[in-house]
Amino acid sequence: MPTWNNIRADFPILHQQVNGKPLVYLDNGATSQKPRAVIDALVHYYERDNSNVHRGLHALSMRATDAYEGARTRIATFLHAADPAEIIFTRGTTESINIVARSFATRLKAGDVILTTEMEHHSNLVPWQQAAKASGATLRYVSVLGANAEGGLDLAALDQLLTPQVKVFAFTHISNTLGTINPVAELCRRARAVGAITVIDAAQSVGHAPLDVQAIGCDYLAFSGHKMCGPTGIGVLYGRRALLEKLAPDETGGGMVVNVTYEGATWKPAPERFEAGTPNVAGAIGLGVACDYLDALDRAAIERHDHALARLAYEKLSTLPGIRLLGPTGERGGLVSFAFPDVHAHDVVTFADEDGVALRGGHHCNQPLMRKLGLTSTTRASFYVYNTAEEIDVLVASMRRTLKFFVG
């Protein structure tokens, strides 16, 4: 069992002051901080092994290739994928979902249905809107329940929504605004029963809890490295091997071809088929080290820690006058979103910054959901392995100061 306060020593960025106050970093839903082990891995690669992969026979290229493919194998183990070839390196969740959505845009037709939910991040919404427009398919949504979306998804409506016409069911694992934890294994099972392909946005869950793609039964799963202690600019698309072999390449060029003539080209199998050009070698290596770091902490323990902080924050914030808290009142992922009447979220986060507290304010790439809830923005506090109960007290004190200024 990790000692959470001691873990803070692994993260150099946390040991600073902002506006004369100790930094309290509560914007982990946007990006997490990086442990020394990940930073050192990036430095080691650039100082010792920097080279292009797969194409060189010299020592540096072979070392870089071994490290890059080793990271793929490590991430496959992290997800419990059946084969490292099911791991495609991308720039992040957005690119991963777009690869799948653009492929379906060429395969769907009028009469087909794409099903998603009202709580999706724009990255798992806009690509499906575009796929529907391009193909003539219909886009439908599973509703969220409650004035503050505290009821989660309307699972009772799935019997009517999940028909044989549904070809794709795309949904988030943990809502980046609400903290709702969706029953992804159940959703995949119900989708599979009607022959629908499932696509999971795991950006807010993969580094916060154990995740087994085979047990979940998903077809595709996407996430970003920078939200799970890894570098920016690297992400993963997991896809079942049989499905990846049927997927057309999203980009073409060097490294993903078997043979090229003036008349045409043939593609390599997955995953190379989807990694045209020079990949983010350093990012992949850093992501593999992030997996090592999180597994050493025990992801089940991380999950308990993050959820406990979210429950504590929800409880303490609920004592503030006039606050509107979004999402479930019970078990939730490691974040809490809230709003005050007549105080814009940008003002809230600006005041918090004066106290050294880093929060996120805005629509969180959830504009349709915000409109449904009658809001333009919320403030979000999101937690990770290095956050503490004492930092929640700092957050609440900062919010009291903000309210005193605006409300009196």
Active-site amino acid positions: 365
Q: 3-class DSSP state for residue 232?
A: coil
What size, in residues, is the chain?
Answer: 408
Q: Which residues pair with 376 in a beta bridge?
A: none
CA distances from 220 to 187, 247, 350 (A): 13, 12, 38
Q: What is the DSSP letter of 267?
A: E
For 118-134, the DSSP string reads TT--GGGTHHHHHHHHH
- Furthest C-alpha separation in the chain: 74
Q: Which residues pair with 90 in a beta bridge?
A: 235
Which structure tokens are listed for 44?
């080691």
| Distance between CA atoms of residues 130 and 30, nearest Å | 24
| Distance between CA atoms of residues 392 and 25, nearest Å | 10
| Distance between CA atoms of residues 398 and 400, nearest Å | 5
Tell me if 192 sits within 8 A of 212, measured CB to CB: no
Pairing assessment for the beta strands 166-172 and 197-201 based on DSSP bridges:
parallel
Number of helices (H) and strands (E), helices first, in the chain? 14, 19
Tell me if 233 sits within 8 A of 81, measured CB to CB: no
Angle formed at CA 224 by CA 81 and CA 213, multiple of 5 degrees: 20
| Distance between CA atoms of residues 40 and 19, nearest Å | 28
| Distance between CA atoms of residues 185 and 308, nearest Å | 23
